[in-house]
Amino acid sequence: MSSSDLLLSLSQKAIHLLQEDADKIEKLIEVQMKNLTTRQCPLYEEVLDTQMYGLSREIDFAIRAELISEAAGKMILIKLERNLAELYEALSSK
Amino acid sequence: MSSSDLLLSLSQKAIHLLQEDADKIEKLIEVQMKNLTTRQCPLYEEVLDTQMYGLSREIDFAIRAELISEAAGKMILIKLERNLAELYEALSSK
């Protein structure tokens, strides 16, 4: 494998792993959105915040390790943050 | 650069970044150890726990991204955890 192929493969793997972790948080947000009218688990916000923090540290590391671009890292976080903001808005207007 | 050189360089960079983050936590532990007899900041434990969690997520990601070995990742964490345990012991026997 040439070094540019290797870099591409490592970079794609990194993006894939980060997206997987982002998808897990996405699922957590969806579940809580569905439970909005039924019941609200008070620990949910804390779990989501912790998971978001963990993911942001992973993304920050991947950028510093030059595996992914800053733009790619930001894109993953921005989408999640938007969904999270919607959830918190829905929770507060309940 | 050959692909094995590239992999080595990325891997060394990853280890270096993780060690830097570990050193920051190490400093936090040292500061709190020194302050043991004077005063204790109640937020210190929380900050240390959060930082340890962040570092463990970075290390876990670096292992999954095949940048570092599991053993290398564990070594960074184990040393810190030992120092953290000493701090907590010192705090509780105060």
Q: Does the pLDDT at position B34 exceed 90?
A: no
Mean pLDDT over residues B12-22, rounded?
97
- Whole-number pLDDT of residue A34: 82
Distance from CA of A48 to the nearest CA of B (A): 14
Tokens read off for B23: 């050193």
pLDDT digit string (tens) for chain A, length 94 residues = 899 999 999 999 999 999 999 999 999 998 888 877 655 667 788 889 999 999 999 999 999 999 999 999 999 999 999 998 988 888 777 6
Average pLDDT of the residues of chain B? 90
For A15, name the nearest residue in chain B, comparing CA atoms only.
Answer: B65
Query: Rounded to the nearest 10 degrees, what angle do helices A70-92 and A3-34 cross at?
Result: 0
Verify whether the Cβ–Cβ distance A62 to B57 is below 8 Å.
Answer: no
Contacts of B50 in chain A (CB under 8 A): 53
CA distance A58 to chain B (A): 5
CATH of A3-92, one of 1.10.287.750, 3.40.47.10, 3.40.50.2000, 3.40.50.300: 1.10.287.750
- Helical ranges in A1-94 per DSSP H: 3-34, 44-64, 70-92
Distance from chain centroid for Cα B9 = 21
Which tokens in the block code for residue A30? 């969806």
Contact residues of B toward A, CB < 8 A: 1-3, 5-7, 10, 13-14, 17-18, 50, 53-55, 57-58, 61-62, 64-67
Rounded to the nearest angstrom, the minimum Cα separation between B65 and chain A is 6
Domain ranges across chain A: 3-92
pLDDT at B76: 96
Q: In this predicted structure, what is the pLDDT of residue B36?
A: 72
Residues A76, A22: contact at Cβ < 8 Å? yes
> Which pair of structure tokens corresponds to residue B24?
């920051």
Q: Spell out which residues of chain B touch residue A5, defining contact as CB-CB under 8 Å.
A: 3
How many Å apart are CA B94 and CA B72, to the nearest integer? 34
Helices (H), B1-94: 3-34, 44-64, 70-92
pLDDT of residue A43: 78
More confident residue, A9 or B45: A9
